[in-house]
Copies of this chain bind each other. A is one copy, B any other.
């Protein structure tokens, strides 16, 4: 995307617990970072119109009225069959037709992924899209994929995730040569199951245009040992949610301890600004927005409970990915990787999408 050409984002204005207010307000907040964004809101015109007026978005927004919306717990297959006129589906269609460069939705994760996959298809050569997000770590932000789109992953999928993660880290984090790690139970080549061992062998010997670091372990994720951590969707989802649980546990333990002691309470009053500042880094709203990487179009999933600030971050992620041409970077990686496994047929079985999971990407609340 050449600088200067405006980016249009299609927004599912009916997806998420606080929609459409959080979506319209979020779009407004995203303009701080990308002043030239154009929006198309898909949803109930009667509810969206006054919000667009209130947030002074008339100059950069259009509304496409839709009669229906996908329910939060609708099964993906049903959403695909019965949701052809839904706000989510029409927003995705806009990307397929080139009317928008990205779509953002805080709606039903499984439905979003299933619909996006069917409408947009995967990028040429890509086996499977992977849910990709950025989380805060000790030394840097870390890109984690897959976080739940693919429960079972072959070595070939993992190798492609490494390439896609590299492209994503360059596009979103601006790291020139990201370090890529493959999640395992130990760092030696003999450790782990067949799929990680084979992926590790390919990544080490395949002469890929990436900085492959080798195996990393669970603690390496939050230490920021590498810029990108590659894993299957089962492990990635559990690792992420476990990290959230552990973060909350420690944070609450400290907080409760302070609240239960008078001298500590006084101490807390004095220490609070510094603690708040430190915790701001982990504010889940700053990390909202996971992309379904590997699709032929940019699809960003916002957390369902996102407020306006949080939704704005998901819009920001979408715009950044468009501006930094993440998909072109992925295709370039693939074409420069002569040893890379490539898919020869598109079109996956929708059934597997039934087992999709939701992700939250929050840490300390």
Q: Does A364 contact B (CB under 8 A)?
A: yes
For chain A residues 223-238, which have a beta carbon within 8 Å of chain B? 223, 231, 233-235, 237-238
The answer to whether B281 touches A271 (Cβ under 8 A) is no
With beta carbons under 8 angstroms apart, the residue of B257, B268, B269 that contacts A278 is B257
Interface 0/1 of A243-278, CB less than 8 Å to B: 111111111111011101101101111111111011
The answer to whether B193 touches A222 (Cβ under 8 A) is no
With beta carbons under 8 angstroms apart, the residue of B138, B218, B240 that contacts A241 is B218
Question: What's the minimum C-beta distance from A36 to chain B, rounded to whole angstroms?
Answer: 35
The answer to whether B357 touches A185 (Cβ under 8 A) is yes
Q: Does A209 contact B (CB under 8 A)?
A: no
The answer to whether B234 touches A221 (Cβ under 8 A) is no
Residues of B within 8 A of A355 (CB): 190-192
Q: Does A183 contact B (CB under 8 A)?
A: yes
The answer to whether B190 touches A218 (Cβ under 8 A) is no
Interface 0/1 of A264-303, CB less than 8 Å to B: 1011111111110111011000000000000000000000
Could you say how many copies of this chain the assembly holds?
Answer: 2
CA distance A192 to B252 in the complex (A): 30
Q: Does A332 contact B (CB under 8 A)?
A: no
Q: Does A358 contact B (CB under 8 A)?
A: yes
- Contacts A193-B151, A245-B223 hold; do A267 and B272 have CB atoms under 8 A apart? yes
Residues of B within 8 A of A247 (CB): 246-247, 249-250
Question: What's the minimum C-beta distance from A138 to chain B, rounded to whole angstroms?
Answer: 5
Q: Does A242 contact B (CB under 8 A)?
A: yes
The answer to whether B222 touches A249 (Cβ under 8 A) is yes
CA distance A249 to B281 in the complex (A): 11
- Contacts A239-B239, A243-B243 hold; do A264 and B258 have CB atoms under 8 A apart? no
Question: What's the minimum C-beta distance from A110 to chain B, rounded to whole angstroms?
Answer: 10
For chain A residues 185-222, which have a beta carbon within 8 Å of chain B? 185-186, 190-193, 217-222
CA distance A255 to B274 in the complex (A): 10
With beta carbons under 8 angstroms apart, the residue of B235, B267, B275 that contacts A270 is B267
The answer to whether B281 touches A253 (Cβ under 8 A) is yes
Given A192-B355, A263-B273, 17 other A-B residues pairs in contact with their CB atoms under 8 A: A217-B237, A217-B238, A217-B241, A218-B237, A218-B243, A218-B244, A218-B245, A219-B241, A221-B245, A222-B248, A223-B249, A247-B247, A247-B250, A253-B279, A253-B282, A254-B279, A261-B271
